[in-house]
């Protein structure tokens, strides 16, 4: 069965420090991987995605993610965190297993401290 | 381009009633997906419609149903409401044809079942 794991419910980081939000996946085929962010009382916003090719993907608001096939991971990173980055982050995977369903992780709450 | 819109934004119903939620996708998008978001369960996939046909379905009981119209607008219906149906229901649209297309989410409908 396909699954996505976000092992940390919450990540705290000081403003200006680098941040990492972790995501691992388990799929049977080649995955398409996504990161979304949700600000309070709003829907999810797309940040970035991995389809194929370069393992380092750059996205919106200075975020990037590294695809690691051997570790089946797709961690979200940013070199310097901002207080405004505080939000709920979701990792999602889409791979073929009869159909192409979206599987979302449980979310990681990022708190950037001033 | 206008974003994904959902109506109503808030609903209060009592157990046993039924409810219909509406979603208007981004113009030109043919795929509409529905999700249930709760604090305990995260984001759970309900179903996806593409060109008026249900393309994917999650693991929800038959009380949850949906449809898509020729203009790509979609409705979701929940019959015989239960307390556990209280959640934020999110609609997302995408170009639809390819599984690596990112989704664009609406602000959600917050359903409270009393």
Q: What is the 3-state secondary structure (H, E, C) of A5-71?
A: ECCCCEEEEECCCCEEECCEEECCCCCEEEEEEECCCCCEEEEEEECCCCCEEECHHHCEEEEECCC
The pLDDT of residue B96: 66
> Does residue A71 register a pLDDT over 70?
yes
Chain A nearest CA to B42, separation (Å): 5
Read off the pLDDT band of A1 (50, 70, 90).
confident
Averaged pLDDT of chain A: 93
The pLDDT of residue A13: 98
B8 upstream amide cis, omega within 30 of 0: yes
Mind listing the pLDDT tens digit for each residue in B43-95? Answer: 899 999 999 999 888 889 999 999 999 999 999 999 999 999 999 999 999 98
Residues in chain A with CB shorter than 8 Å from the CB of B106 are 43
What three-state secondary structure class fits B57? strand
The pLDDT of residue B39: 83
Q: Do A43 and B90 touch (CB under 8 A)?
A: yes
The pLDDT of residue B44: 92
Q: Which among A51, A102, A106 has the least Cβ separation from residue B42?
A: A106
Residues in chain B with CB shorter than 8 Å from the CB of A104 are 35, 42-45
Pairs of residues, one from chain A and one from chain B, whose beta carbons lie less than 8 Å apart: 53
Averaged pLDDT of chain B: 93
């Amino acid at each position: 069965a396909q699954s996505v794991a976000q092992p940390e419910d919450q990540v705290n980081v000081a403003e200006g420090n680098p941040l990492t939000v972790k995501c691992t996946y388990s799929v049977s085929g080649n995955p398409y991987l996504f990161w979304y962010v949700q600000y309070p009382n709003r829907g999810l916003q797309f940040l970035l995605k991995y389809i194929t090719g370069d393992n380092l993907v750059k996205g919106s608001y200075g975020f990037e993610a590294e695809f690691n096939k051997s570790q089946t991971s797709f961690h979200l990173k940013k070199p310097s965190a901002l207080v405004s980055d505080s939000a709920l982050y979701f990792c999602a995977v889409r791979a073929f297993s009869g159909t192409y369903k979206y599987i979302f992780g449980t979310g990681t709450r990022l708190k950037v401290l001033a | 381009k206008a974003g994904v819109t959902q109506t109503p934004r808030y609903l209060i119903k009592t157990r046993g009633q039924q409810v219909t939620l509406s979603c208007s996708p981004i113009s030109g998008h043919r795929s509409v997906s529905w999700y249930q978001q709760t604090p305990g369960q995260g984001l759970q996939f309900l179903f996806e419609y593409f060109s008026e046909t249900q393309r994917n379905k999650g693991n929800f009981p038959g009380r949850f149903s949906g449809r898509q119209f020729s203009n790509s607008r979609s409705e979701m219906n929940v019959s015989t409401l239960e307390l556990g149906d209280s959640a934020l229901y999110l609609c997302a649209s995408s170009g639809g044809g390819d599984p690596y297309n990112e989704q664009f989410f609406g602000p959600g409908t917050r359903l409270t079942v009393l």
